[in-house]
Chain A
Amino acid sequence: MALLTLNLKSLFAIHLPEKKALASPKVLLKTFGWIVLAVFLVADFGFMFAMMDIGMYNALAPLGMQSFMLLYATVMSSVIVFLFAFITSLSFFSSAQYEALFLTMPLKPSSLLTARMATVYAIEAPIAFLVMGIAAGVYGIKSHPGFDFYLYMLFNALAMPLVPLAVSYAVLVPVMSVSRWLRRKNTILYVGGFIGLALALGFNFYLQRMMARIENPVLLQNMLTQNQLNFADIADWWPPAWLTMQAIAQGRTALGSIAATLANLALGVALTAAVAFLFGKSYVKILVNFGETSAVKGTLNQTQAGSIFRARPVFLSLVQRELRLMNREPMYLLNGPFVILLLPVIFAITFIAQGDEMRGAVDQIRPYLTGQAEYLIPAGLGIFLATATSIACTAFSRDAKSLHFLKSLPLRPRDIIAAKLVHALIFAALGIVLGTVGGAIMLGVSTLDAIVALLLAIFGSVALNMGGLAIDTFWPRLSWENPMSALKRNPNAVIMILGSMGLIAGLGVLAATLPLAKYTFALLYGTIFVAACFALGFVLFRAGEKRVRQMEP
């Protein structure tokens, strides 16, 4: 229990302020903001599932198949929980080096593994509860089942994550025991990251398909009846899903439902306990051997030394340092530069999943894709991708741990700032190629419009990246223990992404409403961006230089 408590506190790290601290408006506002964010997150996902469930129920009720919604929710919950359990279990191995410290304490191997599995369960259970709970709510409002229905849904939702948890560790522990390659933090981060991305893209694809059909009952019925076998198959051979359906299906008896629920719970607990007992020692061995690396050994001879110890201009060396430090940190790479590739992929998935609907929508708005829209849309796409990397707006935050040393070197602050900007612009260029050039090709705009779009995208992305860098220069996040905090938990990244989206949307609305000639907007926006570049240049390289001198982690 002590281990579990420690794990949960470390994982969630929620520190509610003391009562007297709430007297401060800043603390009160921050606390309120966190609460709103948490509610928003839950409500966002909840709303999505609720809409799907309601749409499904309404489409299937005329056919008397409304209980299929419960089958669907059960299978969805099973699949989501299974995938999340696997990824979460895998990703927790990245903290194995810290967990290994517990090995100095008198703890049984099975206790260590049980505590870790319980921590994963604490993440999975709310997800299962959300999916099943919403389905129960929708079904309950529409069909008015008895009170026992809700109890069966609740307890089966709680049982849902247990078997996936046991299976995940039953697979991961033996694999990691034999694979030295997997027993490295970087590997875990990359593998987990890519699996997570694939999961997110797959889920997005599925969601897009479902959303397209929710509005069309005929399509939905066709899809579900064609796929009914698949859903039923999953529910048949996946025991937690089968037992859940036995507990909540129409025509069940109370005894049958209770037995199925208890069996579901017992199965989950028994399997989890068995895995903890059987794999505890192997798990400990993984912790002990985790992160073993070999230094690349080999004495340098004259030729090798000559080739690797080469003098470069200071500025180039600074830029190279920026590139290496970002691209070699898995969390930074996957959440930073990689986003340029990821966003177009998500867009492509949407297009594929909702192909007909998207083509129809494009045809409907095509008459409006004239005039300034022909270059503004590709420009907007490029600007958005160019600023979505969060490189500029987290530049100093990511450097917090080496800031003292960097400032002790004979470097002009303006050179440090310039190197960070150049780093951001290298990837901005990639974003512009994919967004603006790709968008121009997709929309089939003229060469002149493509050139105008490109110029606007360049000026716009330079201005926005300079803006992001200015924000992080004056308000960097310099206190963190985990490098991820410098990027993902950095409000500057959120400000920049939302800010750039808002700006692009605002400029778009302006262009749609003002009755000006086609290329007047290009001139207007181009001038604004260039002026912004000059202004931000002054801010960064004058005031920013002074700020860097005063910067203290």
Chain B
Amino acid sequence: MIELRNISKTYAKSGTKAVDTLTLQIPDGIIYGFLGPNGAGKTTTIRILTGAIAADTGSVLIDGIDLDKNPIEAKQRFGLVPDTPDLFSRLRAYEYLNFVADVYRVPAAARTSVIEHLAARFELSDVLKSPISSMSRGMRMKLNLIASLVHAPHNWILDEPIVGLDPHSAFALKELMREHAAAGGTVFFSTHVMEVAERICDELAIINRGKLIFTGNLEALRELRESRGAKSGTGEAGTPVAAEASAAADDESLEALFLALVEDSEGPKL
């Protein structure tokens, strides 16, 4: 389980408030989507969540362990897939995996087994000896996915993981996420594509300009869509006008709703 309590972060140089009193609870056993447009604060939130940067206020708990007070113990409990795949490009793939496995103190036999299994799943088995610099972006993403799971973490955090993946690998990733959640683990991933979230998320949060503008499951999001559709038309249920309004609401995809929510949160335009 992952908890963020009243997290705020302002970047000193630009003065931008990247995250504003954000509180979020991600329970075990589900796939939790974290959505927002570009620059909304998703990556900043994930960096705070993983201890890469410090929040100005608030706390992060990973499986009940305070990240600030027990960082090593807390960091053992998650695996991260960062948004930039261009890490350690001078290393060979197996050197990178070995490094991550060493940091998490994964025994040789266990890491071999996990890596072989995941490499086969993501079709990377035949390039593990290659320099990372010779790999395409998608291959590097897949390598990061493998590295993040080498220690079988309970919590799996992914920052824009679908970008650059081919359809087969994207499918394999979604399957893996479902398996991880089904086994009781937490999956927390960020994306700016509603379609992706719609297909795999059990619950989601939408962030814009550092603030949460929606949290809940897809059902709640659909109800919100219907209530917006009802507001746009008048009349009692069963009347032709109400039926017309309901039909209009069905036409509004979740993506359009997501965009509308984001627009609403930005306030009236002059």
Contact = CB atoms under 8 A, between A and B. Distances in A.
B51 A408 contact: yes
B206 to A, nearest CB: 24
A312 B87 contact: no
A311 interface: yes
Interface string B45-66: 0010011111000000000000
Nearest to B75: A410
A317 interface: yes
Contact of B128 (A300, A407, A552): A300
B108 interface: yes
A325 B88 contact: yes
A405 B126 contact: no
B104 A296 contact: no
A23 interface: no
A293 B80 CA distance: 29
B186 interface: no
A401 interface: yes
A549 B125 CA distance: 36
A306 B91 CA distance: 19
Contact of A295 (B51, B91, B135): B135
Contact of B88 (A306, A402, A408): A402
Given A299-B126, A324-B91, A405-B80, A312 B51 contact: no
A310 B112 CA distance: 8
A411 B87 CA distance: 17
A233 interface: no
A485 B160 CA distance: 28
Contacts of A517: none
Contact of B90 (A317, A324, A412): A324
A372 to B, nearest CB: 44
Contacts of B50: 407-408
B130 A325 contact: no
Interface residues of A, number: 39
B90 A329 contact: yes
A19 interface: no
Contacts of B115: 305, 309
B105 interface: yes
B82 interface: yes
A296 B75 contact: no
Interface in A76-124: none
B75 A408 contact: yes
A405 B54 contact: no
Interface residues of B, number: 48
A297 B127 contact: yes
Contact of B108 (A298, A310, A549): A310
B103 interface: yes
Contacts of A410: 71-73, 75-76, 103-104
A407 B134 contact: no
Interface string A313-327: 110110011001100
B167 interface: no
B90 A299 contact: no
Interface in A174-212: none
B86 interface: yes
Interface string A410-446: 1110000000000000000000000000000000000
Given A297-B127, A309-B112, A404-B82, A409 B100 contact: yes
B208 interface: no
Contact of B54 (A299, A313, A549): A549
Contacts of B106: 311
B138 to A, nearest CB: 13
B122 interface: no
Contact of B87 (A293, A313, A401, A407): A401
Contact of A309 (B72, B108, B131): B108
A408 B80 contact: yes
B75 A311 contact: no
A366 interface: no
8 contacts: A294-B134, A309-B98, A311-B105, A320-B99, A401-B87, A405-B87, A408-B75, A410-B103
> Nearest 10 CB-CB pairs, A to B?
A317-B102, A410-B75, A408-B50, A295-B130, A328-B90, A404-B52, A309-B112, A293-B134, A311-B108, A296-B129
Interface of B: 47, 50-54, 71-73, 75-76, 80, 82, 84, 86-88, 90-92, 94-95, 97-108, 111-112, 115-116, 125-131, 133-135
Given A296-B129, A300-B116, A408-B50, 8 more contacts: A295-B126, A295-B130, A296-B131, A311-B102, A409-B75, A410-B71, A412-B72, A550-B54
